[in-house]
Structure 1
Amino acid sequence: MASRLLGRAAPLRFTSISRRPPCVRYLNVDHPAQGIPPPLQGVKILDLTRVLAGPTATMLLADLGADVIKVEEVSRGDDTRSWYPPAAPLIDSAPEEAAHLPPESAYFLAVNRNKRSITVNFKQPEGLAIVHKLVKQADVLVENFVSGKLAEAGLGWEDCRRLNPRLVYASITGYGQTGPFGKAAGYDVIVEAEAGLMHITGEPDGPPCKVGVAVTDIATGLYAHGAIMAGLLSREKTGQGVWIDCNLFESQLAGLANIASNYLIAGQEGSRHGTAHPSIVPYQVFPCKDGFIMIGAGNDKQFKLFAERILERPDLPSNSKFSTNKSRVANRQELVDLITETLQKEGRDHWIEKLTGLGVPFGPINNIHQTFAHPQVAARQMVTEVEHPRAGKIKLVSPAVTYNGKRMPVRRPPPYLSQHTTEILTELGYSGQQIAELKEKKTI
């Protein structure tokens, strides 16, 4: 694989936002970042996923240089294409062939960079033949259909393995390929509820809450991305492909972390604590005069600093009710009320200034505007501007990881529906006449 995976990076087609706020230090100023060659260059990935978990996994693989071909339904494409507003405004010079399409939804744009789009109706024999040809050329196939549905269509693991014994075939489902829920569809918010996360999220005296973003989907996409990389490495050792079974339920169960361990080891049931920690005090959000701030004094030394320098109560660390974390947990409400009374006397910025450099973990509760205005966002170039053929210049969150100080490039904007159908079919050997006939039949 090494000879296939290593190569020269594709030309950059993006501009990184690089506004430098004052007093920001940049890493590697004297040693320009070199990055790494795209490790998955030459790897072809067939992406039959929709919505969030699967597209997250394939986007991460595309970021590493893989050629990701997103296979979409002919008329509507990925479900998230219709999830708007908000959507990116269209430009006057948008391609005429895409004039019938809806605007590019912000949701779809979030997780589909660096991919190509082909539309295929593989319920038709000609469409299935197209996907079979793609399978023969692919290194990886990723799908998130309900268990068994692709096998009914002639695209299951056994079907594809016969076509390509070296194929890494990744299935992302709600509950896995087996078990009493194996045939059930999976939805992030349902699995959040069913696999414990919603039970431990929310205020103690309030109802269960979902997390503000689809974390179960995202976690599953991350697990799938790592599993696919492992599958490619395994193939290099065995010469054979592998069927990866990744699902929302098990990803969420694994994500319960210490809460799951508390139950398995000690039989301790989880509960809701709002922003507080069940085993550490003070460790939660506190109201200020004009906003909120998160305080995390996780040990006695930090609490001593907090009490003396912020609360101006040097007596508290020697008070038997607050001298140890165990005692602070036992007297949680009394200490929380005392801290709240003090912090509400001044505004958020006042406390931020006093806490900065003190050695007590803290953070302001930022809204999304404040988050993207954070100086670290500009300093680390965490937003990338890319030219989209229908929407013009759009901003995307940059890939989250740097290699030797440099991010992998955004080589392609998220594709509009069927943008690369003709290009991909031509690569497969179809003639212009054949492509026109397939369009006439609505096969593509």
Structure 2
Amino acid sequence: MLKIDVPFFRMHDGRASDTTMVDGRHAINFSTYDYLALNGDRRVTAAAKEAIDRYGTSVGASRPTAGERPIYRELEAALAKLHGVEDALCFVSGHATNVTVIGCLLSKKDLIISDALAHNSILEGIKLSGATSVLFPHNDLDTLEALLREHRPRHRRAMIAVEGLYSMDGDVPDMRRLLAIKRRHDAWLMVDEAHSDGVLGEHGRGIAEEQDIDPTEVEIWMGTLSKAFAATGGYIAGSRALIEFLKIQAPGFLYSVGMPPAMAGAALAALQVLEQEPGRVAALRANGALFLQRARAAGLDVGLSIGASVVSVMTGDTLTTTVLANRLLQQGLYVVPIIFPAVGEKQGRLRFFITARHTAQQIETAVDMTARELSRLRKEPPVAMGLAQAGG
């Protein structure tokens, strides 16, 4: 009604990197998951091309039907090594990984307690399973334990689901406490590491390395290949028994075509680069710390973020958040707004994805520009804000 440009589905030219050409406009880009700056890396693209030359663009069917390819087992062995567990299994989609695995492992006789800010894929998996679902307030482990005391005795199995690094707030759970709680209540623990793989820990091995816990104490490690590893798809890592069970029971594996060979090749090469060049993780974390420090100094509300790969700048209502994103793009900064219903109406934010490729100058420019424009917007009445965006 206010003729405000919709800030989503914008047309980009070229690969996702620290800069982009969007709607014909050059901009600094803070809306790519390329945390380790591996998208377009010559070794990663060469591995993808080599996989196509050897295996084609498709394996033709599900892996049980079409048979295995060495590249899949090499990738899964590398992922198991990353997490320090026995085995791993890759799926064609990250979102589908959570949906099919949770739906497969639990049923209506079971209990799933998940963090209130857990990803949509976890919530959809819970729906599919039919298990009793209970949410606990974000990172409130006292309430988690109270809910387990109340509900656990009435269910056959129980699972706690959390994220290694929360995709909206950029903060982390207390893994030591979670392990103690799950042991006391005979529950499984599932950790979604979509945004913490390649990000947390000195060598990018995730929250287990970051918080120095034994990774074998976590029953289910989940991750995606579409963030730090410059590919697409998802995976589960854990005990060999778990992986063998999923191979014959998880519908999203059994009845879905295997991951495209090019994506397996790209992800495997990305993991090899990560192992050879841990300095990429250090560069990423330094950039995250710089963004957080500059943002706080500029008076921006960055919420709970620890300054890793995700930093959200809290902006308030949908109108303010959307207009701010559009004005920043006009000035050469591309960052996508998060608005209702993805978050509450008054919890709008600009979500900045930090990468190892961003420069200090790009970070300082982004923070200064955001602080300046947000300050200006908050002085404008809502109607004037809309008219200004519409050119009125």
Work out whether the TM-score is over 0.5: no
Structure exhibiting the larger radius of gyration computed from Cα positions: 1
The TM-score normalised by the length of structure 2 is 0.25
Which one has the bigger helix percentage? 2
